[in-house]
Amino acid sequence: MKALNKINYIAITAFILVAGFSACKRDYLDLSPKGKLIAQSTSDYNLLFNNTALINTGAGVTEFPNGQLIMGDEVLSSEPYFSSAALRTQRFFRYDKDTYNPEDDNAEMKGIMTQLYTYNKIANEVMESTGGTDDQKKALYAEAVANRAWCYFMLVNFYGKPYNSLTATSDLAFPIITVADVAETKFTRATVQAVYDFMIKDLTDAIPSLPKNTSIRARLGKAAAEGLLGKVLVFMGRYTDALPYLNNAIDDLPTNYTVALYNLNVTMANAGTTGAWGYNPTTNPSSFQSLYPTAWLNTENIFCKQVNAGAFTADRSDILLTPEAAALFRPSDMRVRFFSTKASGGAALPVTGALRRNSGTVVQIGIRLADVQLLRAECLARTGKIADAITILEAFRTTRMPAADAKVSINDQSALIRFIIDERTREFAINGFRWFDMRRLSTDPLFSSTIYKHKYYDANGKLTEYTLTPDRFTLRFTQKVIDANPGMPNNP
């Protein structure tokens, strides 16, 4: 009973760390609320990961980093929905300079910083914990710093400029925080290069000590760290360096639970078909459908993290898929069944050709198998291995549509790269991945001339376009954060 009470106390303390976050008056960079995590034994530190396994998905969507779902150029908005959308949604969609009020917390930072506090605490203390072996402690340390790298991948893509080798050593990103100290009051923004170097070091240090098999899908193991490192290198344009890590991620997938792509030809077949999730073409399009498995059961998650997305992807019609993005799908592509031509409630959408994503109220933002496979194909294409890229791409597409339609007959390198980027849009539409791709492609000569826009249609069908300027590839800190860190420059 005594041991059980101790475990519960640790879990409750960690919960207070999260739940009490908004009550802290000295937010600084929202590092953590006041309080103390009580952990002594190696098993105590192991339990702390269970409180940071997923970004919470409670009712307050503005508490979680989901702004990227709104900012991709695959979305549009229209009346009568846009004017009733949350002010934050409207600001993100218009690419406004300031997306939050001065007194607000940055949602794209708040939840991540809460997790970062715990990961730093584990990393700094677990090696001195009691009761565990050196190997157990090293594995927990490795998991903590690899999770920290995931946090920084998100933060640098919100607050740092897209990686550019010519300017990365001077472009400002996010402060590098490696301590779990609520009394810290001075933060300095690190450069984009420093943050990328920091992530690479954390991941390369962690990978040798991480287990191949983790206890649950929400714990970060070897394959997830390798996949993340490969993705970090892709975002730096280092495709040759990235490919071995992405390949290793596939080779090191856990074997104690299933990690595999769903065959949507089966799972998204009509209800009543063996293996189907229950898609009903008559009733599903008028509402939202919860067909996709939850994060911890989803076999396509190598490492699961999720955010609330109901206002954008399920029970509202604030954000829609553009006709141009919808036209990327073949009619036989089963991913189209995650969308509807009807608004929530069954009314026809006001923009011809637009689609509403009506599947699920959460979006998976961790390390996804589909992402790793498409990044592998991209790296192969970018390094001239066209046939190998097509092999991976076709194998992937046969899980999304009939094999005859999954064929890829492209021999030109640039055309194949563009096709893979379109495939990423098809796969991750209104999941936020497009925003991150737009950022990295903005410094890629093949795509750097692309002009990104959002289209808005008023009640009379009149079109207004909001053009994304280079400054808006970064989010600004709220005035609350700037005031708490005198002298720290904001983004333009």
Burial class of residue 140 (count of CB atoms within 10 Å of its CB; 0-12, 13-18, 19+): buried
Lowest mean pLDDT among 68-82, 291-305, 370-384: 291-305
Lowest mean pLDDT among 93-102, 130-139, 341-350, 467-476: 341-350
**Alpha carbons 96 and 124: distance in angstroms, whole number:** 39
Task: Decide if 175 is inside a domain.
Answer: yes
323 has a pLDDT exceeding 80: yes
Helical (H) or strand (E) element with 66: none
- Dihedral angle of Cα 255, 303, 325, 289, to the nearest 10 degrees: 90
CATH classification of the domain holding 135: 1.25.40.390
61 has a pLDDT exceeding 70: no
pLDDT bracket for residue 486 (50, 70, 90): confident
- Domain limits for position 40: 2-74+92-218+473-484
Neighbours of 152 (CB within 10 A): 24
Task: Decide if 187 is inside a domain.
Answer: yes
What pLDDT was estimated at residue 56?
45
Task: Give the predicted TM-score (pTM) of the model.
Answer: 0.91
403 has a pLDDT exceeding 90: yes
Return the structure tokens found at 419.
């096709």
Task: Decide if 322 is inside a domain.
Answer: no
**Alpha carbons 38 and 47: distance in angstroms, whole number:** 11
pLDDT in tens, 149-170: 999 999 999 999 999 999 999 9
Residue type, 135: D
Residue type, 41: S
pLDDT bracket for residue 37 (50, 70, 90): low
15 has a pLDDT exceeding 50: no
Give, in order, the Cα–Cα distances in Å from 433 to each of 27, 102, 363, 367: 29, 28, 10, 12
Task: Decide if 36 is inside a domain.
Answer: yes
What pLDDT was estimated at residue 62?
38
pLDDT in tens, 451-470: 999 999 999 999 999 999 99
Return the structure tokens found at 424.
């990423």
Beta strands in 280-431 (DSSP E): 301-303, 306-308, 320-321, 339-340, 356-357, 362-364, 367-368
Average pLDDT for 185-213:
95
Return the structure tokens found at 272.
């009543």
Which of 60, 161, 160, 151 is CA-nearest to residue 104?
60
Task: Decide if 368 is inside a domain.
Answer: no
pLDDT in tens, 407-444: 999 999 999 999 999 999 999 999 999 999 999 999 99
DSSP category for residue 405: G
311 has a pLDDT exceeding 80: no
Which of 136, 144, 115 is CA-nearest to residue 202?
144
Q: Answer with the residue of higher pLDDT: 476 or 362.
A: 476
3-state secondary structure at position 75: strand
Task: Decide if 170 is inside a domain.
Answer: yes
pLDDT in tens, 381-402: 999 999 999 999 999 999 999 9
pLDDT bracket for residue 313 (50, 70, 90): low
Residue type, 221: G
Return the structure tokens found at 81.
């929905």
Task: Decide if 362 is inside a domain.
Answer: no
Return the structure tokens found at 160.
């740092």
What pLDDT was estimated at residue 205?
98
Report whether 77 contacts 456 (CB < 8 A).
yes
Left if phi > 0, otherwise alpha if psi is -120 to 50, otherwise beta: which for 172?
A: beta
Average pLDDT for 65-74:
94
What pLDDT was estimated at residue 325?
98
pLDDT in tens, 242-292: 999 999 999 999 999 999 999 999 999 999 999 999 999 998 888 888 888
Q: Per the structure, how many domains does the chain have?
A: 1
What pLDDT was estimated at residue 396?
98
Which of 157, 371, 160, 252 is CA-nearest to residue 379?
371
Q: Rounded mean pLDDT of the chain? A: 89
Residue 101's Cβ-side half-sphere holds a number of Cα atoms within 13 Å equal to: 5
Residue type, 122: I
Provide the residue count of the chain. 492
Task: Decide if 59 is inside a domain.
Answer: yes
Which of 83, 108, 90 is CA-nearest to residue 174?
108
58 has a pLDDT exceeding 70: no
